[in-house]
């Protein structure tokens, strides 16, 4: 078992002072260039992505972004430099950043005009006939690169290793579907637990409440969509998904044959109207436009999935279950388009945590002349973050299995409590914990016994021990 040797590395020395002065780089641009050059240096020296990230104290995502950046150059003209961290702000935010004395409407119109000059206009329209549009920002481009290249390769590579040696792909898919079913339902008000969700999707529990029916229905809809043999999502498939999602959860007066027959409004917790669904007479034509849009242009499927999600909620074709149907259908669309990585994780899990921002981004589109960039950036950010989480989960699982396999190979026996300690430390953010951390979490554990177990695991090379203030800090002694 090996541990990385810490080294001091000065990223600044790899960029010439003359270059910085000549180009008048901002601190942000300079930092970006320093990062790229440092990453390339470590790559050329044979370090892995994980090792580079640890040594430079960068996130793996940042390292992934610049790992294959072979054509990067220091620009001769600073106006050409575009940073990936520039915020695509709303008018509401801009008014707080604008210089005093300037006219907000005039300045915002200039920004809006520039955005529209480089925007992609879709064939999707609101009820007044205005087209929905978006700008493919650097943030969106970076997210797509991350999802399609590095994340796709690493996620599938890691999962194949795990499936081959430790867990089944069916188990992984079941976990993912349970999470998606649970979190997508909680966004819409269902109240339950992940444990109950897992029991529902494995048929170990019969749904007995509306919340449990929502979760179970969501699972059945996702399962149906994944088993569907058609290559495309269609209106018929979406209607079947809605039928499964809404089964036995709609009030009698809201039961429908197809789309809703009454106008609806969406209200926030205070009862204020935050969105009005399309007029009933316009629903069919707008939904026809949506399904035509999904297969009539060369927009990236990941962006298209986010647009489908937004426009579906925007039209609000059903009296209830619109969000769940939108999320399920956009998920199935991506899998049908060949993005099997989406089977590994739940997008709705993070949306549930960012529920307020989710609804805020929907409102931002409506408040900013149908600019979908806000919602697309949000969804792609959620996807990227979800991939980070699942990669971290797979990494920890891989290390856990590696440790236990090593112990078996060497004929070393450990107790169940010692296994529990290893798993606990593996799930800590920095793979480290004190005895106090562990006993506080596991109140039934005896302090002296835990101390003895941790020292034993240190003696056999599983853990290392260092000082953190007055306490001993135990860390996993393996990077695999």
- CA-to-CA distance for 175 and 169, rounded, in angstroms? 10
Q: How confident is the model at residue 162 (pLDDT cuts 50, 70, 90)?
A: low
Three-class SS state of 92: helix
Question: Among candidates 355, 302, 310, which has minimal Cα distance to 331?
Answer: 302
**Which of 169-178, 200-209, 230-239, 431-440 has the lowest average pLDDT?**
169-178
Architecture of domain 414-476: Orthogonal Bundle (1.10)
Cα dihedral 393, 399, 401, 404 sign: negative
Tell me the domain boundaries of the chain: 11-80, 131-394, 414-476
Query: In percent, how much of the chain has pLDDT > 70?
Result: 81
Please tell me the predicted confidence (pLDDT) of residue 478: 64
pLDDT digits (tens, 9 = 90+) for 419-447: 999 999 999 988 999 999 999 988 878 99
Q: How much is the pTM?
A: 0.76
Does residue 17 carry a pLDDT above 50? Answer: no
Please tell me the predicted confidence (pLDDT) of residue 164: 57
Please tell me the predicted confidence (pLDDT) of residue 393: 82
Please tell me the predicted confidence (pLDDT) of residue 34: 65
Question: Among candidates 425, 405, 430, 431, which has minimal Cα distance to 414?
Answer: 405
326 assigned ligand-binding residue: yes
- Determine how many CB atoms are found less than 10 A away from the CB of residue 416: 7
Query: If phi over 0 gives left and psi between -120 and 50 gives alpha, with beta otherwise, what is residue 203?
Result: left
396 assigned ligand-binding residue: no
267 assigned ligand-binding residue: no
Average pLDDT over residues 133-144: 95
368 assigned ligand-binding residue: yes
| Residue 41, H or E segment | helix 27-44
More confident residue, 117 or 477: 117
pLDDT digits (tens, 9 = 90+) for 266-317: 877 777 777 889 999 999 999 999 999 999 889 999 999 999 999 999 999 9
Average pLDDT over residues 97-115: 92
- CA-to-CA distance for 345 and 178, rounded, in angstroms? 10
Tokens for 475?
């860390």
Assess whether 316 carries a catalytic annotation. Answer: yes
321 assigned ligand-binding residue: yes
- CA-to-CA distance for 316 and 309, rounded, in angstroms? 11
Residue 247, Cβ density class (10 Å: 0-12 exposed, 13-18 middle, ≥19 buried): middle
Please tell me the predicted confidence (pLDDT) of residue 347: 87
Q: Which CATH number fits domain 131-394: 3.40.50.300, 3.40.630.30, 3.30.460.40, 1.10.3290.10?
A: 1.10.3290.10
325 assigned ligand-binding residue: yes
Q: How confident is the model at residue 72 (pLDDT cuts 50, 70, 90)?
A: very low
Please tell me the predicted confidence (pLDDT) of residue 255: 59
Which one of 96-105, 149-158, 394-403 scores highest in mean pLDDT? 96-105
- Measured at the CA of 239, the angle between CA 235 and CA 242, to 5 degrees, comes to 140
Please tell me the predicted confidence (pLDDT) of residue 24: 42
Whole-angstrom Cα Rg for the chain: 26
Please tell me the predicted confidence (pLDDT) of residue 415: 94
Average pLDDT over residues 103-118: 94
Contact 50, 73 (CB under 8 A): no
432-434 sheet: strands from edge to edge:
432-434, 471-476, 463-468
- CA-to-CA distance for 220 and 180, rounded, in angstroms? 11
Does residue 14 carry a pLDDT above 60? Answer: no
Question: Among candidates 353, 361, 355, 453, which has minimal Cα distance to 90?
Answer: 361
**Which of 50-54, 71-75, 312-316 has the lowest average pLDDT?**
71-75
**What is the chain's mean pLDDT, rounded?**
82
Contact 56, 42 (CB under 8 A): yes
pLDDT digits (tens, 9 = 90+) for 211-240: 889 999 998 999 999 898 888 999 999 999
Catalytic residue among 219, 316, 398, 471: 316
Question: Among candidates 338, 351, 345, 267, which has minimal Cα distance to 309?
Answer: 351
- CA-to-CA distance for 456 and 418, rounded, in angstroms? 9
359 assigned ligand-binding residue: yes
Please tell me the predicted confidence (pLDDT) of residue 468: 86
47 assigned ligand-binding residue: no
Pairing of strands 471-476, 463-468: antiparallel
121 assigned ligand-binding residue: no
């Amino acid at each position: 078992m090996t541990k990385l040797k810490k080294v001091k590395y000065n990223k600044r020395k790899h960029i010439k002072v003359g270059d910085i002065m000549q180009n008048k780089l901002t601190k942000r641009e300079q930092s970006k260039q320093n990062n790229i050059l440092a990453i390339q240096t470590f790559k050329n020296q044979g370090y892995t992505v994980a090792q580079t990230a640890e040594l430079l104290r960068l996130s793996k995502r940042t390292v992934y972004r610049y790992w294959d950046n072979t054509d990067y150059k220091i620009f001769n003209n600073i106006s050409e430099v575009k940073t990936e961290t520039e915020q695509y702000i709303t008018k509401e935010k801009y008014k707080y950043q604008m210089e005093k004395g300037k006219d907000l409407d005039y300045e915002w119109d200039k920004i809006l005009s520039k955005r529209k000059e480089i925007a992609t206009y879709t064939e999707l329209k609101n009820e007044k006939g205005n087209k929905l549009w978006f700008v493919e920002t650097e943030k969106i481009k970076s997210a797509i690169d991350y999802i399609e290249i590095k994340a796709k390769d690493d996620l599938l590579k890691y999962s194949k290793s795990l499936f081959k040696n430790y867990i089944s792909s069916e188990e992984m898919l079941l976990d993912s579907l349970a999470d998606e079913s649970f979190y997508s339902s909680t966004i819409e008000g269902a109240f339950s637990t992940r444990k109950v969700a897992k029991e529902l999707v494995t048929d170990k529990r019969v749904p007995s409440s509306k919340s449990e029916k929502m979760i179970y229905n969501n699972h059945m809809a996702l399962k149906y969509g994944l088993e569907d043999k058609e290559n495309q999502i269609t209106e018929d498939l979406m209607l079947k998904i809605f039928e499964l999602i809404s089964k036995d959860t709609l009030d009698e007066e809201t039961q429908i044959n197809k789309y809703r027959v009454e106008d609806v409004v969406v209200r926030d917790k205070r009862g204020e109207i935050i969105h009005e669904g399309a007029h009933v007479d316009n629903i069919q034509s707008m939904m026809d436009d949506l399904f035509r849009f999904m297969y009539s242009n060369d927009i990236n499927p990941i962006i298209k999935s986010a647009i489908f999600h937004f426009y579906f909620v925007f039209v609000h074709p059903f009296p209830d279950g619109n969000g769940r149907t939108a999320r399920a259908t956009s998920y199935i669309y991506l899998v049908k388009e060949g993005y099997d990585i989406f089977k590994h994780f739940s997008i709705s899990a993070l949306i549930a945590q960012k529920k307020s921002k989710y609804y805020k981004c929907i409102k931002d589109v409506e408040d900013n002349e149908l600019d979908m960039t806000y919602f697309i950036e949000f969804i792609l950010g959620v996807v990227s973050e979800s991939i980070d989480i699942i990669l971290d989960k797979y990494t920890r699982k891989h290390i856990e299995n590696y440790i236990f396999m090593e112990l078996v190979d060497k004929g070393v026996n450990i107790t169940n409590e010692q296994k529990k300690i290893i798993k606990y430390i593996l799930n800590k953010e920095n793979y480290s914990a004190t005895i106090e951390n562990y006993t506080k979490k596991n109140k039934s554990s005896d302090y002296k016994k835990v101390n003895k177990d941790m020292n034993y695991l240190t003696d056999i090379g599983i853990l290392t021990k260092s000082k953190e203030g007055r306490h001993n800090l135990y860390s996993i002694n393996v990077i695999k």
